[in-house]
Amino acid sequence: MQSIRLVNYRCFKNTGQIELKPLNLLVGANSSGKSSLAEFFPLLQQSSGVKLDGVFRWSKEGGIDYGSFANAILDDESVPPAEREMQVEFSFKRDHSNYAVQTQTKHSEDFKVTLKIRQPKGENIEQLSELILECSDVIRLGFDGTRLSLEINGESYDPGPQKLSYTSVEGLLPLVVTESLDTKNRGDYRIQFFPGAVFHAPCADDDLERALQKSGSLQLLGRILSMEEARAAVKSLGFGDDEKKAGLLQRRSVFLNLNELLREVNRYTESFAAHLFYVKPLRSYPRRIYHQDNLAWRQAGSDVGDVAGFILRQRRLGTLKDFNDWCLKRFGFTLNTHQQDGTVSLWIQLRGERERNIVDVGFGYAQLIPIVVLLWHEAVANVQERSFGGDPVPVLFIIEQPELHLHPRLTGMFAAALGQVVREATERGLKLQLMVETHSEVMIRRICSQVRLGELDNQAVQVLMFNPEHNEQGRAQIEVGSIEQDGSLRNWPYGFLADRAY
């Protein structure tokens, strides 16, 4: 994900557009909005790939629990509840593998999605009020009950006698349908245009329509045309440099492939969800033994029991030594497992000491180990999964307060490992982003030191500072700070970490 902006979300009136970097540090006082921002990403994750009555899945067992839209939207007493509108905006790179949304000429690489969400008076579920897609074209969908209005590149688009509507699917965005469509097939409908199809916009040019059918050029509309392609097609049909006809033809091509654009966003959010790892501030308490359940343990989680099963799998695959070599160098310990009578136990060996059960060492190690294992597996060991188009699939880590129960020295070692992971991922051409919410001055200073020593590119890191006192309305605001090449912090408020900072 390239950027995000949230309006009227939780404690934020407007976060402003936040450009995400490979390493993003979130710092600020308690209850200043850090977790609200961090938790939006797993909220998006738990809302993807499922069919919902509303827009987001506000509550999930073991996930994010905001309860409802009413609890998630900014409580602004100056605006009646039915008129309050949340806005979610995010951008990402388009997938080159989707033919339907490509043009033969140069097209936009970026895709920006804006969702405007309201809860109508008397309703218990929120609804989309407007959806804006910005790529090579700008498409606006307006939602009014079950009816839908459409605007393409600033021009209203009317598909004719059949009224546009929409249907929810197993994805973030709904798909476009018509009122006359058989409801049994609504979920898998794709608007198409072929000879004899019923989609005839009254604004269409009859001469252009006849020329398209007579020349057999309707196949042009199987994908989105650029204006250059539309002009060339109109000229080849004998209409010369008719800009109006070219505009009609180009907008028609966008309309006929509109569901493919919506599906592309849904595919992206599902892929994003599958490659997002959220580590909560409180990990599980370690146990002396864990019962085996024959799971493959291909992926570690934030539970120490997951780590035990995952390390056991690495032993079987012969990759445990690779992990332990990396872990010993970065953190000064190695991990192992012991099995007995259908149980597995996790053991740790600190440098220069004997091996011990994870329960018999400091609690801080049990909190750190799940993060370390996840980082190694997803960002260091794995050859990053690639999309059908051949590009690496982005991976995002959200880590809240990794310094909990850690001595400052171990916190510094963890910060250094974060910097090294980011640098190595960049060198390998991987798309890795880390968002770390922290109260640790040690972690911030260690990252600054890495930049100063040339171990981390200062353009790969930013500090997002949360301070509600800077907002006249008493709402949380985010200020973006950067790290100079000499390791100094830019835009850092004086006394931000001091006793009187808040």
pLDDT-derived band of residue 194, with 50, 70 and 90 as boundaries? very low
Q: What is the CA radius of gyration of the chain?
A: 26
* Neighbouring C-beta atoms of residue 145, cutoff 10 Å: 8
pLDDT, the chain, mean? 82
Pairing of strands 276-279, 395-400: parallel
CA 31 to CA 367: how far, in whole Å? 22
- Determine the average pLDDT of the residues in 1-10: 94
The pLDDT of residue 160 is 67
Assess contact for 12 and 471: CB atoms under 8 A.
Answer: no
**Entry pTM:** 0.86
pLDDT-derived band of residue 391, with 50, 70 and 90 as boundaries? low
Q: Which long-range contacts (CB under 8 A, 24 or more apart) does 309-317 make?
A: 309/344, 310/373, 310/377, 311/335, 311/336, 311/337, 311/346, 311/373, 312/337, 312/339, 312/344
- Determine the average pLDDT of the residues in 61-86: 87
Tokens of 151: 């605007």
The pLDDT of residue 445 is 92
* Neighbouring C-beta atoms of residue 232, cutoff 10 Å: 16
The pLDDT of residue 502 is 45
Nearest Cα to Cα of residue 282 among 296, 266, 303, 254: 303
Residue 170 DSSP one-character state: B
Q: Hey, which of 103-112, 323-332, 490-499 has the most confident mean pLDDT?
A: 323-332
The pLDDT of residue 189 is 41
Select the more confidently predicted residue: 502 or 166. 166
The pLDDT of residue 398 is 94
The pLDDT of residue 108 is 54
* Cα distance between the two ends of the chain: 32
Quick check: 472 pLDDT over 80?
A: no
The pLDDT of residue 200 is 40
The pLDDT of residue 56 is 94
CA 327 to CA 324: how far, in whole Å? 5
- Rounded to 10 degrees, the C-alpha dihedral 233/238/244/245 comes to -60
Quick check: 447 pLDDT over 80?
A: yes
Assess contact for 152 and 141: CB atoms under 8 A.
Answer: no
The pLDDT of residue 6 is 96
Tokens of 296: 């493959």
3-class state of residue 275 by DSSP: coil
Alpha helices, H only, 47-122: 69-72
* Neighbouring C-beta atoms of residue 281, cutoff 10 Å: 15
The pLDDT of residue 499 is 55
The pLDDT of residue 143 is 93
Render pLDDT for 234-261 as a digit per residue (tens, 0 to 9): 888 888 888 988 888 888 888 888 898 9
CA 130 to CA 117: how far, in whole Å? 7
The pLDDT of residue 415 is 93
pLDDT-derived band of residue 451, with 50, 70 and 90 as boundaries? very high
Tokens 């018509």 correspond to 178
Quick check: 372 pLDDT over 80?
A: yes
SS3 per residue for 391-412: CECCEEEEEECCCCCCCHHHHH
CA 419 to CA 378: how far, in whole Å? 15
Tokens 């985010």 correspond to 478
pLDDT-derived band of residue 473, with 50, 70 and 90 as boundaries? low
- Determine the average pLDDT of the residues in 144-166: 84
Quick check: 45 pLDDT over 70?
A: yes
